[in-house]
């Protein structure tokens, strides 16, 4: 039986049907809500809030144990309030209370740092580093503060404190309320570590870049040698243990 070639009309019809099928597949991939957009660059979640650069008081002229944020000349060791800085709302970190952490986070300009009295024990020196909300709004702190001892010229003495193991939690501070972190080290006379007497303790609130400065009046601290480590704990509600 001889093979019969398809007619011209039949060949054209088959070609047209194939083309329509290809177009249909392309249309299904490109429409109907399945369009793939270009990748988006997501900013780092831990970046400090923008537009909140404050210049801390670089001189150790604040009253002993009290920080002086920029523009605040009425710092009091009891954490009493001055004027209320404006709130900042930029950033993307999620807060545990269901709102943006950056909109509730306490900024450096809204806090005052103080160092509480020593609570020594078994050759160990233990100081509460207290952050007090001096703004007119409720804000939060979470985690470890930064800390460093510096001399009168601003040179750091010894390495940064190490972080003691702990579970950070969000501490909500209404105006005038405080959170504290422990700062501990072995007494240099007991540990025989190399020691120096700082002029200032520099404290940086969590997730902030601008520091607070507190005059250090508690004597020598270890800066090298055996048992020279200084430790800092997570922030907790209150002003001390």
pLDDT digits (tens, 9 = 90+) for 72-103: 333 333 333 333 333 333 333 333 343 445 57
Q: Which DSSP string do the residues of 30-96 spell out, in sequence order?
A: HSTT-PPPPP-PPPPTTSPPTT-------SS-SPBTBB--TT-----TT------PPP-----PBPT
Which domains are assigned to the chain? 101-237 (2.60.40)
Mean pLDDT of 24-32: 40
The mean predicted confidence, pLDDT, of the chain is: 71
Residue predicted with more confidence, 12 or 215: 215
| Model confidence pTM above 0.85 | no
Q: What is the pLDDT of residue 208?
A: 96
Q: Which DSSP string do the residues of 105-165 spell out, in sequence order?
A: BPPGGGEEEEE-----BTTEEEEEEEEEE-SSS-EEEESPPEEEEE-TTS-B-SPPPEEPP
How do residues 185-200 score in pLDDT, each as one tens digit? 999 988 889 999 999 9
- What is the C-alpha to C-alpha distance for residues 139 and 171, in angstroms, rounded to an integer? 9
Where residue 73 falls (left for φ over 0; alpha for ψ -120 to 50; beta otherwise) is: alpha
How do residues 103-115 score in pLDDT, each as one tens digit? 799 999 999 999 9
- What is the C-alpha to C-alpha distance for residues 169 and 97, in angstroms, rounded to an integer? 11
């Amino acid at each position: 039986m001889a093979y019969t070639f398809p007619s011209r009309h039949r060949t054209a019809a088959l070609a047209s049907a194939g083309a329509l099928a290809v177009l249909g597949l392309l249309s299904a991939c490109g429409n109907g809500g399945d369009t793939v957009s270009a990748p988006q660059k997501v900013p780092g979640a831990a970046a400090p809030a923008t537009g909140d650069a404050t210049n801390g008081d670089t001189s150790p002229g604040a009253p002993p144990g009290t920080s002086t944020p920029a523009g605040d000349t009425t710092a009091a060791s009891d954490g009493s309030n001055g004027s209320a800085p404006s709130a900042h709302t930029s950033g993307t970190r999620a807060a545990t209370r269901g709102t943006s952490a950056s909109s509730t986070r306490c900024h450096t300009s809204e806090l005052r740092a103080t160092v509480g009295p020593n609570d020594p024990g078994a050759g160990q020196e233990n100081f509460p580093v207290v952050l007090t909300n001096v703004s007119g709004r409720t804000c939060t702190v979470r985690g470890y503060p930064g800390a460093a001892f510096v001399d009168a010229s601003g040179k750091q003495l010894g390495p940064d404190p190490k972080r003691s193991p702990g579970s950070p939690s969000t501490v909500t501070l209404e105006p005038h309320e405080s959170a504290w972190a422990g700062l501990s080290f072995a007494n240099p006379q007991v540990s025989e570590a190399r020691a120096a007497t700082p002029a200032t303790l520099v404290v940086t609130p969590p997730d902030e870049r601008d520091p607070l400065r507190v005059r250090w009046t508690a004597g020598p601290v270890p800066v090298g040698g055996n048992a020279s480590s200084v430790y800092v704990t997570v922030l907790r509600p209150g002003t001390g243990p």
